[in-house]
């Protein structure tokens, strides 16, 4: 495994400010945003998100 170098953050992200759930409701909490979310409304730029809030997922797989 190697370090990932590619990034595609939305402007001012990551900001650890809270997140939208799968129904686009705003969720704020004291929990840190440790997951990544792709936002269609942001042309799929990255957003840091709460891992505890259900949303779409990206999984890492090895390609051989």
Average pLDDT value for residue range 35-61: 76
Q: Can you tell me whether residue 46 is helix, strand or coil?
A: strand
End-to-end, the C-alpha distance of the chain in Å comes to 13
Q: Quick check: pTM over 0.85?
A: no
Q: Where along the chain do its domains lie? A: 1-64
20-39 confidence digits (pLDDT tens): 666 767 777 667 888 888 87
């Amino acid at each position: 495994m190697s370090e990932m170098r590619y990034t595609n953050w939305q402007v001012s992200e990551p900001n650890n400010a809270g997140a939208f759930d799968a129904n686009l409701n705003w969720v704020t909490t004291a929990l840190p945003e440790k997951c990544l979310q792709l936002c269609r409304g942001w042309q799929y730029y990255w957003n840091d998100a709460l891992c505890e809030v259900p949303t779409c997922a990206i999984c890492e797989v090895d390609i051989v």
